[in-house]
Amino acid sequence: MTLITILGFILIVIGIWGMLSQSNIIKIIIGFSIVDTGIHLVMVSIGYLKDRTAPILDETVGKAEALARVVDPVPSALVLTAIVIGLAVTALMLAYAVKLHEMKGSLDIHDLKELKW
């Protein structure tokens, strides 16, 4: 496990802790973003292979030697998609926060207990 991976997991834990300990909805959303970032770090670190170059085939990296010289491109591609999706979800959460604030006049998640049991 590389340092980056560990860092990623630490971020995930911090984010989850934030989601659990903060009652302000905006802070919860920030916590969620931190978790997201942590996951992205973990994903990238999985694909990274030490001392290898970017997976771009050009004069320096020929087709034949590519397999031995480049990092795994798939996780990077996945991360890009995950970032886009994370962005959409975060935006939607923030939209929710705005609407909730408009209706309720409060951003405290403890106030959202209309439905229970």
Partner 1 sequence: MVNPIYLFVIALAAGFLLSLIDKAGRSAALTVFYAALAAMAGISAQAFIAILGGAESAMIFTAGFKPPFSINLQMGLEESFFTMIVNVLGLLSGIYLVKKLKTEKVYALVLYLMMIMGLNGLIMTRDLFNLFVFLEITSIATYSLIGIERNIRSLSAGFKYMIAGGLASMFFLIGTIYLYRFTGVLHLDSMAEALDLASGPAVVLAVFTLLISVLIELKPFPANGWALDVYEAADDGLVAVIASASSAAMLFVLYKITPLLNGTLLLAVAGIGLTTFVLSNLMGLMQHSPKRLLGYSSIGQIGLIMGVYALLVHSGAASEPMTLLLVAGGLFINHFIAKAGLFWLAGLVGKDSLEGWHVLRKKPVLVFMFGVFILALVGLPPFPGFFAKWQLVMVFSEKGLTLATVLVLLGSFLEAAYLFRWLGKVLKTEGEGEVKTSFAQGLPLTLSALALIGLGAGFSLWIPGGSGLKILYLPMLLAAALFLLDFLPAWVKNTLVILLMSLYAWQLLPGLEGYRFLFGIIFLAGGVLLLIPGYAFKGKRRGFYPFAVMMYAGLAALLISESTLQLFAAWEIMTLGSYFLIIRGKRSEPHALSYMLFSIGGAFVMLMGLGLLYGVNGQSLALTSLETLTQSAGVIFLLIMLGFLTKIASMGLHIWLPGAHGEAETDVSPMVSAILLKAGMFGLIVLMSAIRRPMIGNVDITYWMSWLGAITVFLGNLLAIYQEDAKRLLAYSSVGNLGYVLFGLSMMTHMGWLTSIAFALNHFLFKALLFLAIGGVVMRVKTKNMYEMGGLIKRMPVSFISVLIGIIALSGVPPLSGYAGKWLTFNILLEKGWYLQGLVLIIGGLIAFLYCFRLIYAVFLGQLKDNHRRVKEAPLPVLIPQIILMIAIMFFSAYPGLVLHPVGDFLLKYFPQGAISWQNNTALTAYGHWDGLAVLIITGVMFASVFALLLITNRKAQKVGQFNIVYAAERPSRPELTHVGYNFFAHYRKALGIFSRPFAVKFWDGVSEFAHSAADLFRKIYSGNGQTYLVHIILFVVVVYAFVTGG
Instruction: List contacts with partner 1 (CB under 8 A).
Output: 12, 16, 19-20, 23, 25, 28, 32, 35-36, 39, 42-43, 46, 74-75, 78, 81-82, 85, 88-89, 92-93, 95-97, 99-100, 103-104, 109-110, 112-117
Q: What is the DSSP letter of 113?
A: -
Query: Please, which residue, 61 or 82, has the CB nearer to partner 1?
Result: 82
Distance CA 101, CA 77 (A): 36
Query: Please, which residue, 2 or 60, has the CB nearer to partner 1?
Result: 2
Instruction: Name every residue whose Cβ is closer than 8 Å to that of residue 112 and which is 6 or more positions away in sequence.
Output: 100, 104
CB of 53 to partner 1, least distance (A): 20
Are 13 and 31 in contact, with CB atoms under 8 Å apart?
Answer: no
DSSP string, 43-54: HHHHH--TT-B-
CB of 59 to partner 1, least distance (A): 25
Query: Please, which residue, 26 or 61, has the CB nearer to partner 1?
Result: 26
